[in-house]
């Protein structure tokens, strides 16, 4: 019998901690949250009683009943219980819920926290137990109660009043508004162009690339300049060299880790946090939800020793960074390796890449600045007043760049020249360049913007970004861009040649693009529930959560101040006229039928409608067509609409004689053969050929055949999945033991395996997934 029972959040964390504690300790896991706010109560009253001081009814998650039974049994056999859930507000709330459900006294039960899962940190935490911090618990409760009230009261209004509206949330809505505002900036951007002139000179057999600092506004000016170079001489008029230094950034916070992982590794916020979670649970990095850039004295000492021995004393420089966030707790640490000497932290390629990024960033923060020398060469043109400039940069001492190289192309190293040297012109060109509209947000840049505005906290960034995509209010762009013509003048001996080349523009690949539904919902909330999407108001609410956590504000006062004006708006929302939300726009008249064609929003987003509904004329119901790709309710033309109503289009037939139809649906263009649907992205349903359609259909049939292994009564199937064979009944999936052949399983065996598989929900911890 173990004298001490330690309860943590995740099974992976439990295994790691149990290695460091002796035989007197048993470590079990709650597997995340064990209770949540009830959806409905037994007596039919609201789970949150606003009038009774926001009294809240919680219910045990059904899938956690077995876990609770095991914990209760273990408590009977233990002398002491230690709650070792994570050190943030969510972790504190889980500790309190454990006390409530397991009948532990929160004022007496030992609570321990640690920033890293190492032997030293665990042993130190055991020496300094405290009790559950109710201020942190109340801050978490305030967030949870507020989000539940907003979601439950506002979402039904959105369903009723907004075509295609799904839900609205307190923090996700300002994020959608950011995306919508950026998209409209891009749409209203007035493009312009100029001509950039570049040249390649030679000196002593070496190339020297230079650029004209000025741009020309017209073709005529650019052409005239190139023509003036035919008889010109080119002389170096000045060579300037200036030393500069480049300093490393601070070690990672949650926000900067998500930004940099997105920029350097292409990781999304959710994937970054899941990977960091695994590294933390395995004891490889410190706690991954933090807004502090502080490093412990022990970590600084270890890095000092490592950097000096590995690279030399000249590479080491102690730095103490100051956290910008007023709410950050300096007692917490930045995200860093628990042992900087460890280079290989995981056999998982994904996790290893993230660990390497964290390790290199941490090391760089304690290394000397890089010393650079910037050189600018000015080149006079005898026939013009304009001058060319060649710029380069040489790294004199790499410093921190030795471990954390710059995330951009380094400038060229220039050949040695002196003032007065004459250069030979090898080539020159003037290329049309276009002004760029504002860039769409990536996941990383949206996290940065949310942090700048004070919206969200380290524990919520990934959830916010995931939610706006799951709700269908934003999507990850897949468009590689559209081709556009670019004018290029080039000097060929004594002649200036004009060419038109093509380049792609407008790519949104990997960027967050608001959907039409996202735009309509955002506009609706801005017009009728401004406080929900107001950036300043949302940031103020976050600060009030911080004040509750610090014991400076009463939970119920904060909730009342928010809820009363919000609920008044809900009560008044009945008067909002649905027809004024996302109004339909008449595009023109169909020449065949004489009926009007409208562009409007429907249940699944923007669409086209031919004819107006007439309740008395049931035979002439309106026809509907999906919005053409790239078109919008505000901009779609009559020509585009008429083409859209040509769908579905009969493309041809399969070799077996079945009709192939092409159309556009909710999820994009597709072909249909009988009851089989096949995506044809990026092909256009208006011009896909029979040969292309047959090929895609054959591929679909081949994949389906490879996926199918066996079928049993009741819709039970044995299928090949992404991670190997599995059993499904359409509701839940069951793993197949390694010693079983999926091809020879019997009906009794598959039913037994399904029966033994619980109805699992994702591991939930305030919306965060764990494994």
Catalytic site positions: 287
Question: Which tokens is 603 given?
Answer: 């249940």
Cβ(395)–Cβ(176) under 8 Å? Answer: no
Backbone angles phi, psi at 672, to 5 degrees: -130, 130
C-alpha–C-alpha distance, residues 94 and 105, integer Å: 14
What string of H, E and C letters represents the secondary structure of 500-544? EEEEEECCCCCCEEECHHHHHHHHHHHHHCHHHHCHHHHHHHHHH
Three-state DSSP at 272 gives: helix
Q: Which of 703, 707, 683 is nearest to 693 (CA)?
A: 683
Rounded to 10°, the helix 461-470/172-188 angle is 70
1 in helix, strand or coil? coil
What's the CA gap between 380 and 668, in Å, rounded? Answer: 56
Phi, psi of 385 (to 5 degrees): -85, -25
Q: Where are the beta strands (DSSP E) in 47-167?
A: 48-49, 55-56, 58-60, 80-83, 110-111
Query: At a CB cut-off of 8 Å and minimum separation 6, what does 677 contact?
Result: 665, 670, 671
DSSP structure string for 410-456: PPPPPPP--TT-EEEEEEEEEEEEEPPPPPPP-HHHHHHHHHHHT-S
Among 558, 418, 520, 526, CA closest to 135: 558
- Nearest to residue 91, comparing CAs of 33, 29, 38? 33
For the four alpha carbons of 724, 729, 735 and 739, in that order, the dihedral sign comes to negative
Give the span between the Cα atoms of 303 and 176, in whole angstroms: 41
C-alpha to C-alpha distance for 116 and 97, rounded to whole angstroms = 23
Measured CA to CA, the distance from residue 355 to residue 338 in angstroms comes to 11
């Amino acid at each position: 019998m173990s004298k001490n029972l330690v309860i943590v959040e995740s099974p992976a964390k439990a295994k790691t901690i149990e290695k460091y504690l002796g035989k007197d300790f048993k470590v079990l896991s709650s597997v995340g949250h064990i209770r949540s706010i009830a959806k409905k109560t037994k007596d039919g009253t609201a789970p949150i009683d606003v009038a009774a001081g926001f009294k809240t009814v919680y219910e045990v998650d059904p899938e956690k009943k077995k876990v609770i039974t095991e914990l209760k049994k273990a408590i009977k056999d233990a002398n002491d219980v230690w709650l070792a859930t994570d050190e943030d507000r969510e972790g504190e709330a889980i500790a309190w819920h454990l006390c409530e459900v397991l009948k532990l006294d929160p004022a007496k039960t030992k609570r321990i926290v640690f920033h890293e899962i190492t032997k030293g940190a665990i042993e130190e935490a055991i020496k300094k137990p405290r009790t559950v911090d109710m201020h942190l618990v109340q801050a978490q409760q305030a967030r949870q109660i507020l989000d539940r009230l907003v979601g439950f009261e506002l979402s039904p209004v959105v369903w009723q009043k907004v075509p295609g509206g799904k839900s609205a949330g307190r923090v996700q809505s300002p994020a959608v508004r950011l995306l919508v505002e950026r998209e409209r900036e891009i749409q209203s951007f007035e493009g312009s162009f100029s001509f950039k002139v570049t040249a390649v000179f030679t000196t002593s057999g070496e190339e020297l690339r230079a650029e004209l600092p000025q741009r020309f506004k017209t073709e005529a000016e650019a052409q005239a300049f190139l023509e003036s170079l035919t008889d010109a001489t080119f002389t170096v008029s000045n060579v300037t060299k200036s030393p500069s230094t480049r300093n490393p950034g601070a070690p990672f916070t949650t926000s900067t880790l998500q930004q940099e992982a997105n920029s350097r590794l292409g990781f999304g916020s959710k994937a970054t946090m899941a990977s960091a979670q695994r590294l933390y649970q395995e004891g490889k990095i410190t706690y991954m939800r933090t807004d502090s850039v502080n490093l412990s004295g022990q970590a600084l000492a270890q890095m000092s020793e490592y950097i000096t021995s590995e690279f030399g004393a000249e590479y080491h420089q102690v730095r103490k960074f100051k956290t910008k966030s007023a709410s950050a707790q300096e007692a917490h640490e930045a995200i860093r390796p628990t042992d900087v000497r460890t280079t290989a932290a995981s056999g998982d390629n994904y996790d290893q890449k993230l660990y390497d990024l964290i390790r290199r960033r941490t090391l760089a923060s304690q290394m000397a600045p890089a010393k650079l020398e910037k050189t600018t060469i000015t080149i006079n043109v005898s026939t013009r007043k304009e001058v060319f400039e060649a710029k380069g940069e040489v790294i004199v001492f790499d410093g921190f760049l030795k471990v954390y190289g710059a995330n951009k192309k380094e400038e060229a190293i220039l050949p040695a020249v002196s003032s007065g040297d004459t250069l030979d012109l090898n080539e020159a060109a003037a290329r049309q360049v276009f002004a760029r509209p504002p860039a769409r947000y990536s996941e990383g840049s949206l996290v940065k913007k949310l942090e700048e505005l004070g919206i969200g906290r380290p524990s919520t960034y990934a959830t916010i970004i995931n939610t706006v995509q799951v709700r269908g209010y934003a999507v990850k762009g897949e468009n590689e861009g559209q081709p556009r013509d670019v004018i290029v003048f080039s000097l060929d001996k004594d002649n200036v040649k004009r060419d038109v080349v093509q380049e792609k523009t407008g790519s949104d690949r990997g960027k967050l693009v608001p959907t039409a539904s996202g735009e309509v919902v955002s506009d609706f909330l801005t017009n009728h529930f401004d406080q929900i999407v107001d950036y300043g108001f949302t940031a103020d609410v976050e600060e009030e959560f911080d004040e509750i956590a610090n014991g400076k504000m009463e939970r119920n006062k904060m909730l009342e101040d928010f809820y009363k004006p919000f609920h008044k708006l809900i009560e008044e929302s009945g008067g909002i006229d649905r027809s004024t939300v996302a109004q339909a726009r008449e595009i023109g008249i169909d020449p065949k039928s004489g009926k009007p064609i409208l562009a409007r929003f429907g249940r699944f987003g923007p669409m086209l409608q031919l004819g107006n509904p007439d309740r008395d004329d049931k035979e002439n119901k309106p026809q509907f067509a999906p919005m053409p790709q790239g078109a919008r309710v505000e901009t779609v033309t009559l020509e585009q609409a008429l083409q859209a109503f040509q769908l579905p289009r009969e493309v041809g037939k399969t070799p077996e004689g079945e009709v192939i139809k092409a159309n556009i649906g909710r999820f994009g263009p597709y072909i249909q053969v009988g009851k089989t649907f096949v995506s044809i992205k990026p092909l256009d349903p208006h011009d896909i050929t029979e040969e292309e359609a047959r090929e895609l259909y054959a591929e679909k049939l081949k994949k389906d055949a490879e996926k199918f292994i066996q079928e049993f009564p009741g819709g039970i199937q044995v299928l090949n999945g992404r991670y190997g064979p599995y059993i499904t009944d359409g509701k839940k999936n069951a793993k197949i033991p390694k010693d079983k052949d999926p091809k020879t399983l019997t009906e009794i065996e598959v039913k037994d395996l399904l029966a033994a598989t619980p109805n699992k929900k994702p591991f939930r911890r305030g919306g965060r997934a764990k494994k």
